Amino acid sequence: MPLIQSIYTTTPGHEIRQDDAAGLTRRLFKEKFKDIERLLRVFDNGDIETRHVTMPLDWYGENHSFGERNDLYIEHAVSLGMEAAAGCLKNPEFLGREVDFREIDAIFYISSSGIATPSIEARLMNKLPFRDDVKRIPVWGLGCAGGASGISRAYDYCLAHPGHKVLVLCVELCSLTFQTEDYTKSNLVGASLFADGVACALVTGDEADIPSAGTLPRVRSTVSKLMPDSEDVMGWDVDDTGLHVVFSKSIPAIITDWLGPFVHEFLRSGGVPVEDIAHFVAHPGGKKVLLAYEEALGFDRGMTDVSRDVLRQYGNMSSPTVLFVLEQFMKKRPAAGESGLMAALGPGFSGELLLLEWQ
């Protein structure tokens, strides 16, 4: 079973409080919505206190071209990606020794919030001492499901190459997609919820030679699922000004109705009763999403405490967020043999599940 050997998370340097973000949104939207104060309650009701963004808050109150915002995405994705990759390979909390860049055999780069060709992992390889024959797998468009999907695809890769070491790097700078002149409720909700963050995980095959510092999660199995004809649930609309968020208010109801059967079928196929899941590594898409998880799976509130804490401190960073949650579980050092379930949902509408076991 491939092992999640190390993880490292980071954020841009600008921390904003939720009431400050609400104040900026009020200023930008107040002339367009007669009921702006009612709509702004989403900032108070989302269970988010702080978030991190790439630029100073006042910058988001000005209009910026798609090109300018995308150039900033590339610049900061490279700098933050370098930090995350180096931190992951040197993290003494999880690794028995540092891992040299030249030991890495493949990089999965996961993002949905900017566009770059050559892709970001190629740019990192020109700045960090990776081998020049590293396999590059850039993956775009998975949104909030991207972190879990990235670990799943690294699992598949390591089954085929059991001696290999793989980096999964998730970079999302969601704030740079914000559009000051997009006066839709989806944009307003997105402004209350999304944030910027970066996470890097090291996944190794069974024959890799890296000692571990304590118990770590192995991936027992994974599954992906697509809901037919659901393209309009979440994603981007793209026009000349950039990426416009699509965010359906039906998402919590979809989770309640669709996720439960999906999870139970997956666990049955692995011979694991849902009551044996000790650790629920859930992507915290929002407060209502976490409540829907609990209802769909019959979990008590304590099972989503870690996800709720990450949401409160960081907001929804899209793909890296579930790896922020996983990092907190890994720091808690679950006992050997305990099971975990990683879950994330994204555009498609789609879901990704991973069955974990600490060893």
The residues carrying an active-site annotation are 144
Taking a C-beta distance cutoff of 8 angstroms, is the pair 207, 165 a contact? no
Q: Is 229 helix (H, G, I), strand (E, B) or coil?
A: coil
Strand locations in 304-349 (E): 339-346
Cα 129 to Cα 137: distance, rounded to the nearest angstrom? 18
Q: Is 282 helix (H, G, I), strand (E, B) or coil?
A: strand
Taking a C-beta distance cutoff of 8 angstroms, is the pair 319, 200 a contact? no
Instruction: Find, among 267, 190, 266, the residue nearest to 235 by Cα.
Output: 190
Cα 285 to Cα 169: distance, rounded to the nearest angstrom? 19
Strand locations in the chain (E): 3-10, 14-17, 50-53, 106-111, 135-140, 165-173, 196-204, 217-226, 234-239, 242-247, 277-282, 339-346, 350-358
Helix axes 321-331, 305-314, angle to 10 degrees: 130
Taking a C-beta distance cutoff of 8 angstroms, is the pair 353, 293 a contact? no
